[in-house]
């Protein structure tokens, strides 16, 4: 499988970050908000494409399961209710149940009852998952930065800087490690 980092059917972009194949300005077909949304989707698609095989190789789980692990890793208490995970990821509960079962089988999460609610189930990362994330996060973060750098122009990367540190390094070439000070 080819390791392309950006969708190949997107119009070329000029150095200003604008797409040369899409109309711009007030006479364009797309309002600024829709054009920005399309760029964001392109960047997200490039990131997903970049991470799929890397996550499978590094952690032995699917990209969708990785999103659950990342969501749990970002929780101060370490756990979330299944219904909340489904809401945050926009997943049907039945699909989420299967993915959490796969993560549980891999020893990356545990499930438990929520105190005071016999129907509620909380999912928590295991120490094994925390160790794996600690070891694999730096190269995966670099893959995200690289994919965004390839998919977006400098102005769009600057707009994303608050969400994805390191993506606004306009002097950095794709595949070059991000400036650690920006992370």
What per-residue confidence (pLDDT) applies to 161? Answer: 66
Q: Looking at the predicted structure, is the pLDDT value of residue 50 above 70?
A: yes
Q: What is the mean pLDDT of residues 51-70?
A: 92
Q: Kindly report, residue by residue over 68-105, the tens digit of the pLDDT.
A: 999 999 888 778 999 999 999 998 988 999 999 999 99
How does residue 173 score in pLDDT terms, banded at 50, 70 and 90? low
Q: What is the pTM of this model?
A: 0.69
Spatial contact of 174 and 150, defined as CB atoms under 8 Å apart? yes
What per-residue confidence (pLDDT) applies to 34? Answer: 84
What per-residue confidence (pLDDT) applies to 26? Answer: 54
- Considering only residues 119 and 161, tell me which one the structure prediction assigns the higher pLDDT: 119
Q: Looking at the predicted structure, is the pLDDT value of residue 22 above 90?
A: no
Percent of the chain's residues with pLDDT above 90? 35
Ranges of beta strands (E only) in the chain are: 79-81, 109-114, 117-125
Q: Is 25 helix (H, G, I), strand (E, B) or coil?
A: coil
Q: Looking at the predicted structure, is the pLDDT value of residue 6 above 60?
A: no
Q: At what angle do helices 93-105 and 63-73 cross, to 10 degrees?
A: 80
CA dist list (Å): 171 to 14, 129, 153, 158, 166: 15, 35, 12, 12, 11
CA dist list (Å): 137 to 64, 83, 134: 16, 26, 6
Q: Is 19 helix (H, G, I), strand (E, B) or coil?
A: strand
CB atoms within 10 A of CB 83: 14
What per-residue confidence (pLDDT) applies to 116? Answer: 72
Q: Looking at the predicted structure, is the pLDDT value of residue 117 above 90?
A: no
Q: Kindly report, residue by residue over 134-172, the tens digit of the pLDDT.
A: 999 999 988 888 888 888 878 777 777 666 555 555 444
Residue with tokens 């794709």, as numbered in its chain: 174
């Amino acid at each position: 499988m080819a390791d392309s980092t950006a969708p190949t059917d997107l119009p070329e972009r000029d150095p200003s970050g604008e797409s040369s194949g899409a109309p711009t300005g007030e006479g364009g077909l797309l309002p600024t908000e829709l054009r920005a949304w399309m760029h964001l989707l392109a960047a997200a698609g490039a990131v997903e494409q970049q991470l799929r095989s890397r996550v499978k190789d590094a952690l032995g789980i699917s990209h969708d399961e990785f999103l659950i692990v990342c969501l749990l890793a970002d929780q101060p208490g370490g756990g979330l209710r299944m219904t909340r995970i489904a809401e945050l990821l926009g997943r049907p509960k039945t699909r989420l149940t299967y993915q959490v079962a796969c993560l549980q089988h891999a020893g990356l999460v545990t499930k438990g009852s929520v105190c005071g609610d016999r129907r509620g189930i909380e999912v928590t990362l295991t120490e094994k998952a925390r160790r794996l994330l600690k070891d694999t996060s730096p190269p995966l973060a670099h893959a995200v930065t690289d994919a965004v750098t390839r998919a977006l122009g400098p102005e769009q990367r600057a707009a994303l800087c608050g969400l994805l540190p390191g993506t606004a390094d306009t002097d950095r070439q794709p595949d070059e490690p991000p400036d650690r000070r920006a992370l």
